[in-house]
Amino acid sequence: MGTIVCQACNSTIDHFEDEKVSVLYSNCNTCCGKHTNEEEDLVN
């Protein structure tokens, strides 16, 4: 069993079947755009 986790907010995006237990990191569609915009605002 594997898990896909959002690298921005650490929320679980999905689970997948695999022989090994593993965690993959990606970006979720619901909040990562918001996180990216907030980070850009902090830089500017």
Per-residue pLDDT of the chain (44 residues; tens, 9 = 90+): 899 888 888 888 888 887 888 988 888 776 665 554 444 444 44
**C-alpha distances in Å from residue 6, one per residue of 12, 36, 43, 44:** 6, 13, 22, 24
- Compute the radius of gyration of the chain from its Cα atoms: 13
Q: What is the pLDDT of residue 37?
A: 47
Q: What is the pLDDT of residue 34?
A: 54
Which three-class secondary structure string do you get for 19-37? CCCEEEEECCCCCHHHHHH
Q: What is the pLDDT of residue 33?
A: 59
Q: What is the pLDDT of residue 42?
A: 46
- For the chain, the domains span 2-43
Q: In what order do the strands lie in the sheet with 2-6?
A: 12-16, 2-6, 22-26
- What is the H or E stretch that residue 41 is in? helix 32-43
Q: What is the pLDDT of residue 30?
A: 67
